[in-house]
Amino acid sequence: MGQELSTLPEGVQRVAAALRDLGHPHAPVFLDDAARTAQQAADALGVSLGQIAKSIIFKRKPDGAAVLVVTSGDRRVDEAKVQALVCAPGSRLGRADADFVKARTGFSIGGVAPLAHALEPVTLIDRELFRFTDIWAAAGHPHAVFRLRPQDLERLTGAAVADVVEAVAAAAP
């Protein structure tokens, strides 16, 4: 990393401190180019798109809670599956705009980490991430990421692992 913790952006400082406090062996690293999308992060790291743990924020409409879904970069979240897991019958999820994401997580879109949020979200982990030994997640800034295993993500967040993505079509023979 090369930078002193105090010189890092505030969001990265929070993530680095949380990782250190939780005994995680990998500190955030800075990429030369922004990794606002999963594809940009995968390209910068030289890993497959699926190894990027992207953080998607929804807004639970009845109580305004943030719902974080950490999903594999090569999958799309199935909003109906997430809603069934985190909402009472008859209530709904909504899209979260940039202001909501920043206010609830303390991070800007493109740098939302799976931990160290301003307000603790309801969190779900996509079981598809467990296809990989190593994954990478945003570390509080569009240029910052950290390495972990899917099992680490589960331990660090205390979140449930669930089927939260759209079905993948089987390849034609």
**For the domain that residue 54 is a member of, what is the CATH number?**
3.90.960.10
Closest CA to 107 of 19, 14, 40: 14
Tell me, yes or no, whether 110 lies in a domain: yes
Tell me, yes or no, whether 169 lies in a domain: no
Predicted pLDDT of residue 111: 93
Q: Output the CA–CA distances (angstroms, integers) from residue 157 to 68, 82, 115, 125, 135, in the order listed.
A: 11, 17, 6, 9, 15
As a whole number of angstroms, the distance between CA 55 and CA 83 comes to: 16
Mean pLDDT, 10 residues at a time, the chain of 173 residues = 63 96 94 84 94 96 95 96 94 94 94 96 97 96 95 96 87 55
Predicted pLDDT of residue 173: 58
Total domains in the fold of the chain: 1
Tell me, yes or no, whether 173 lies in a domain: no
Residue-range definition of the domain harbouring residue 25: 5-162
Predicted pLDDT of residue 171: 55
Check residue 28 and give left, alpha or beta (phi > 0: left; psi -120 to 50: alpha).
Answer: beta
Predicted pLDDT of residue 170: 59
Tell me, yes or no, whether 168 lies in a domain: no
Tell me, yes or no, whether 167 lies in a domain: no
Tell me, yes or no, whether 149 lies in a domain: yes
Contact 123, 157 (CB under 8 A): yes
Predicted pLDDT of residue 14: 96
